[in-house]
Chain A
Amino acid sequence: MNRSSVERELERLHGESWGWALACAGRDRDLAEEVLQTAYVRILSGAAKPSGRSSFRTWVFGVIRLIALEELRKARRMSRRIDDAPAGFEPADTAAAPDDVAERSERAAVLEAALRRLSERQREILHLVFYHGMTIEEAAGIMKIGIGSARTHYDRGKKALGELLARLDV
């Protein structure tokens, strides 16, 4: 694939890539933009190359996920330094502003809150299957786990999410 056809494919997938970047970034919009930008730069510059073993979408999602993990690790290291900082230093508030929450539908907000209660693997696989319409096999490829593990996380995650939503009486 030459660069212009890669760019066309990325543009075609942009909506889905954005949704996945948001999920990987813990719904932090600024971080999601940064992650997506880094992913596009690496893909378009050739720094990230597909192995040819998966579909283009699966590969792009894998790149986004890895970059998000890198960024979150950096943020955690920074957060630990901030915690060690002398008294008086206030860390930035990374939670969504009240205006942002008001803009989203109440049901979407409830879903986000419930997803945050799940483990990372369960949250990821449910997002890939329900949000992006992927199969468990495709999701396992992106998450770099075996299909058996993926299925376990999916079943347990779906059960836990259903119980949380039932408790919230949605």
Chain B
Amino acid sequence: MTDAIEREIRAMFDELRAIDAASAPAFGAIVSQGLPQTIPIAAAGRGRRVIWAAVAAGAIIAAAVFALRSGHDTQPAVASTDISQWTAPTDILLDLSRESIAPRDFNTSVLDSFKGN
């Protein structure tokens, strides 16, 4: 290859390079299209601090509400009774001081005496 042809090849490549450089897209445009948007680190830090403060405030409020409710509990769950006064509904059947436990006529009932018979 002669020097003249090599010089010509170089000149043509130089021309092609100049044309390409003139039509190149902006670097920032290429990068911003490809990368996701990210918030600056300082702003991200502030955001995290706000979130933690809100969580802490919520926890304090919840604890205060719980404390208030347990201190003002005046409604008894169940009415209190003296157990010594309690009688069973079938207690009458055990009252042996007045009734005999001897076998009775099958045609009668132990309940007959309570019916005014």
When the two chains form their complex, are residues B16 and A162 in contact, meaning their CB atoms are under 8 A apart? no
A56 at the interface (CB under 8 A from B): no
Task: List B residues 64-88 near A (Cβ within 8 Å).
Answer: none
In the assembled complex, the Cα of A40 lies from the Cα of B31 at a distance in Å of 7
Q: With A19-B21, A41-B35 in contact, do A130 and B10 touch (Cβ < 8 Å)?
A: yes
B34 at the interface (CB under 8 A from A): yes
- Of A11, A37, A111, the residue contacting B16 (CB under 8 A) is A111
A75 at the interface (CB under 8 A from B): no
Our count of residue pairs bridging A and B at CB distance below 8 angstroms stands at 79
- Of A15, A105, A111, the residue contacting B13 (CB under 8 A) is A111
For chain A, which range describes its interface: under 10, 10 to 19, 20 to 34, or 35 or more residues?
35 or more
When the two chains form their complex, are residues B9 and A33 in contact, meaning their CB atoms are under 8 A apart? no
When the two chains form their complex, are residues A22 and B30 in contact, meaning their CB atoms are under 8 A apart? no
When the two chains form their complex, are residues A110 and B30 in contact, meaning their CB atoms are under 8 A apart? no
When the two chains form their complex, are residues A110 and B12 in contact, meaning their CB atoms are under 8 A apart? yes
A36 at the interface (CB under 8 A from B): yes
Q: With A40-B34, A107-B12, A161-B9 in contact, do A10 and B27 touch (Cβ < 8 Å)?
A: yes
A104 at the interface (CB under 8 A from B): yes
In the assembled complex, the Cα of A18 lies from the Cα of B20 at a distance in Å of 8
B17 at the interface (CB under 8 A from A): yes
Q: With A131-B17, A170-B12 in contact, do A158 and B6 touch (Cβ < 8 Å)?
A: yes
In the assembled complex, the Cα of A135 lies from the Cα of B48 at a distance in Å of 52
When the two chains form their complex, are residues B21 and A15 in contact, meaning their CB atoms are under 8 A apart? yes
- Of A15, A22, A36, A158, the residue contacting B9 (CB under 8 A) is A158
Residue of B nearest to A110 (CB): B12
The 4 tightest CB contacts between A and B, nearest first, are A41-B34, A130-B13, A18-B24, A37-B34
6 A-B pairs with CB atoms under 8 Å apart are: A18-B21, A107-B12, A111-B16, A127-B13, A161-B9, A170-B8
